[in-house]
Amino acid sequence: MGNFYICPTPIGNLKDISERLENTLSEVDIVYAEDTRVAKKLLSHLNLKKEVHSYFKGNEKEKISEILNLLNKDKSIAMISDAGTPLISDPGNMLIKELIKEKIQIVSIPGPSSVLVAITLSGFDIDKFTFFGFIPKAGRERSYFYKTISELAHPLVCFTSPKRLKKDLEDFVKNNLENQVVVCRELTKKFESIYRGNAQELLNDIPTEEYRGEITLVIDKTKNKSAIDINIEELAKKLIMYEVPKREIAKIISSLNNEKVNKIYDSIKNL
């Protein structure tokens, strides 16, 4: 039984090719690739000649039995995408599930990922973050995306097409979303560009000629803007009647109107 290797390829800079990736590609019998032309260029760069087969969203289901047959014939196989780590917003998940069922040995080689590069460049609190994939083009899925942004509890990483970036940012503005956004363009390449700000600032700052190239977005968590218009003194007096400590009252009111706890406490401590 052959082994199956998940092989990440550079997202731009060919110097990011690891020794382990190069060794793996040199040792496998067959390479399955999202785009065979891109795969052959990479293999040529490494001075490797390999049998290359296509594996993309349009044929992934029908290719499963083909790949299983090859593995059963003791052929070792590598899967690569056009750039970055396979399966991340790329085909392959369906295949991996079948390989696991068949108890095939799967090896995932660590390597380049625009998701991790972008999130570490963001400057946001990234103890937790969400990966969304590509921003939906239209319909309910797109509406759900913007609703998700309006309620983000931690940063979110997503992809978009350079042709759609301007429209995506305009829809942030239309939806009154003021989240800080980091636009990462052409990561690791010669003309890598990073832009930071809310959507309106980015629309003003990004030059027209830079609406091209690979785009990864990092969107910061949403600031709580659901303040309730309340009379602080009146509410505080009512809570004091029920013997609620003033410090606790300040915390309660702060959670309702987004004002700082100490400021509220100062305004009610003499009531």
- Reduced to 3 states (helix: H, G, I; strand: E, B; else coil), residue 115 is helix
Q: How far apart are CA 33 and CA 190, in angstroms?
A: 25
Contact yes or no for 122/158 (Cβ under 8 A): no
pLDDT of residue 184: 97
pLDDT of residue 258: 66
Read off the pLDDT of residues 113-142 as tens digits, 9 standing for 90 and up.
999 999 999 999 999 999 999 999 999 999
Average confidence (pLDDT) over 179-195:
95
Q: How far apart are CA 103 and CA 230, in angstroms?
A: 62
What Cα–Cα distance (Å) separates residue 36 from each residue in 82, 84, 92, 174, 268? 9, 15, 15, 41, 70
**Helix 232-241 with 246-257: angle, nearest 10 deg:** 140
What Cα–Cα distance (Å) separates residue 234 from each residue in 231, 239, 259? 5, 9, 16
- 30 contacts: CB under 8 Å, gap ≥ 6: 50, 51, 52, 53, 70, 75, 76, 77, 78
Residue 39 has pLDDT above 90, yes or no: yes
Instruction: Note the Cα 113 to chain centre separation in Å.
Output: 10
Q: What is the pTM of this model?
A: 0.77
Instruction: Note the Cα 17 to chain centre separation in Å.
Output: 22
- Reduced to 3 states (helix: H, G, I; strand: E, B; else coil), residue 270 is coil
pLDDT of residue 228: 61
Reported in sequence order, the residue ranges of 19-98 that DSSP labels E, i.e. its strands, are 30-33, 51-54, 77-80
Q: For 7, which DSSP code?
A: -
Q: How far apart are CA 70 and CA 100, in angstroms?
A: 16
Q: What is the residue extent of each domain of the chain?
A: 4-108, 114-219, 232-268
Residue 227 has pLDDT above 80, yes or no: no
CATH code matching the domain that covers 114-219, chosen among 3.40.190.10, 3.60.21.10, 3.30.70.1140, 3.30.950.10:
3.30.950.10
Does the structural domain 4-108 have CATH classification 3.30.300.10? no
Closest CA relative to residue 265, chosen from 255, 256, 19, 249: 249
Residue 229 has pLDDT above 70, yes or no: no
Residue 226 has pLDDT above 70, yes or no: no
Contact yes or no for 164/158 (Cβ under 8 A): no
pLDDT of residue 213: 84
Q: Confidence class of residue 259 from pLDDT cuts 50, 70 and 90?
A: confident
Contact yes or no for 92/79 (Cβ under 8 A): yes
pLDDT of residue 81: 92
Residue 230 has pLDDT above 80, yes or no: no
Average confidence (pLDDT) over 51-72:
94
Residue 260's φ and ψ, nearest 5 degrees, are -65, 140
Q: Confidence class of residue 209 from pLDDT cuts 50, 70 and 90?
A: confident
Residue 260 has pLDDT above 90, yes or no: no
Q: How far apart are CA 170 and CA 93, in angstroms?
A: 33
pLDDT of residue 224: 61
Reported in sequence order, the residue ranges of the chain that DSSP labels E, i.e. its strands, are 4-6, 30-33, 51-54, 77-80, 106-108, 130-134, 156-160, 181-185, 193-197, 215-219
Q: Confidence class of residue 256 from pLDDT cuts 50, 70 and 90?
A: confident
- 29 contacts: CB under 8 Å, gap ≥ 6: 2, 50, 51, 70, 75, 76, 77
Q: Confidence class of residue 200 from pLDDT cuts 50, 70 and 90?
A: very high
Give the mean pLDDT of the chain. Answer: 93
